[in-house]
Structure 1
Amino acid sequence: MLNITVVGTVVTHPSKRDLNTGEQVLTFRMASNSRRFDQATGTWVDNGTLFLTVSCWRRLVAGVEESIRRGDPVVVYGQLRSHEYRTRDGVERRDLEMRASAVGPDLGRCTARIARRSDSGTGSDPQGVIRNTCHGSSAEPDARVGHGLGETAAAVPSASTQSAAPEPVDA
């Protein structure tokens, strides 16, 4: 399998399913636009869009479910797979799927605050969630703080008694 990083935008609402095995999987579709510099016009032009389905498993399910929404800019890392199949109409199709190892906000296009999970917890406690919200995304309007870019990260108070402040690092 090929491990790859894709930068793009979430185009469907993440959907969680319970499997017969007791495991959960969360999937969403994302789009990544390729751009190139056109020497003749001196401008950047779109050069195609890659669409793929992202599947999240195990601990990643809770984090993505609480953090990522349609319209959010994301960076996704994982195994890229191709699924070939034939539709009911007999048309051959090929779908790209990424089994994600890591999913996060694209901090070049939004801001986010980090909520660290405790070692004993699953991270699915909605009281400890800090949502990333992106300027121009479909994130909930009541989650926004301020209106300017860079002021769009909103935090839900954590139930944890530990400080969320980073620890000092000796250089």
Structure 2
Amino acid sequence: MSGFEIPVTITGHLGQDPKFYSKDGSASAVRVSVAFTPREFDRRRGDWVQRPTVWHDVVAFGQLADNVHASLRKGDPVIVVGKLRDNSYTRESRQEGGEDILVRRTDLRADYVGLDLNRATVAVTKNRRPEPQADEQADQPAQEAQTTG
């Protein structure tokens, strides 16, 4: 099924700890649910009214997935920037001769995930860059000699 992609930014709280997925130790992914409960001021009542909670399924890949899994826990306030994508599928009918059923779903493919600093503080630990390979280190002095001579 052809899908759509819409850039969005959401805020909310994690509904559970991030669920981490990895195939053979290679490409990693993490899935989280982000809850947002809108509040509006009702002028007639002169009070704030809470609306029903809206849940968003969020998925992240690679280094972002690793960082989300290592850093965030249930209840943490987050800001997510990414693309809302069509994740719909067709399920075969459970009745013989019945029509297949279109299940409409979306998920948010995260490009960025951060702690919402309006609601929490954080201590930053930067990712370490991988060390150069042995053959890359051997090339560095030769390259430096060429540029200085």
TM-score (norm 2): 0.70
2:6 corresponding residue in structure 1: 2
Alpha-carbon distance in structure 2 between the residues aligned to 1:96 and 1:44: 30
Gaps of 5+ in 1: 122-171
- SS at 1:52 equivalent: strand
Say if 2:7 and 2:84, in contact at 8 Å, map to a contact too: yes
Query: How has the CA–CA distance of structure 1 residues 20 and 70 changed in structure 2, closer, same or farther, with 3 Å as cutoff?
Result: same
Percent identity between matched residues is 28
1:23 corresponding residue in structure 2: 27
- Does the alignment pair 1:99 with 2:109? yes
Say if 1:51 and 1:96, in contact at 8 Å, map to a contact too: no
- Does the alignment pair 1:120 with 2:130? yes
1:68 corresponding residue in structure 2: 72
Counterpart residue identity of residue 127, structure 2: R
**Of the two, which has the highest radius of gyration?**
2
> Of the candidates 48, 52, 57, which is equivalent to residue 53 of structure 1?
57
Identify the structure with bigger relative contact order (alpha carbons < 8 Å, sequence gap 6+). 2
1:43 corresponding residue in structure 2: 47
Alpha-carbon distance in structure 1 between the residues aligned to 2:122 and 2:109: 23
Alpha-carbon distance in structure 1 between the residues aligned to 2:105 and 2:12: 17
Counterpart residue identity of residue 103, structure 1: V
Q: How many residues are matched?
A: 121
Question: Comparing both structures, which one devotes a greater share of its residues to helix?
Answer: 2
Say if 1:52 and 1:95, in contact at 8 Å, map to a contact too: no
TM-score (norm 1): 0.62
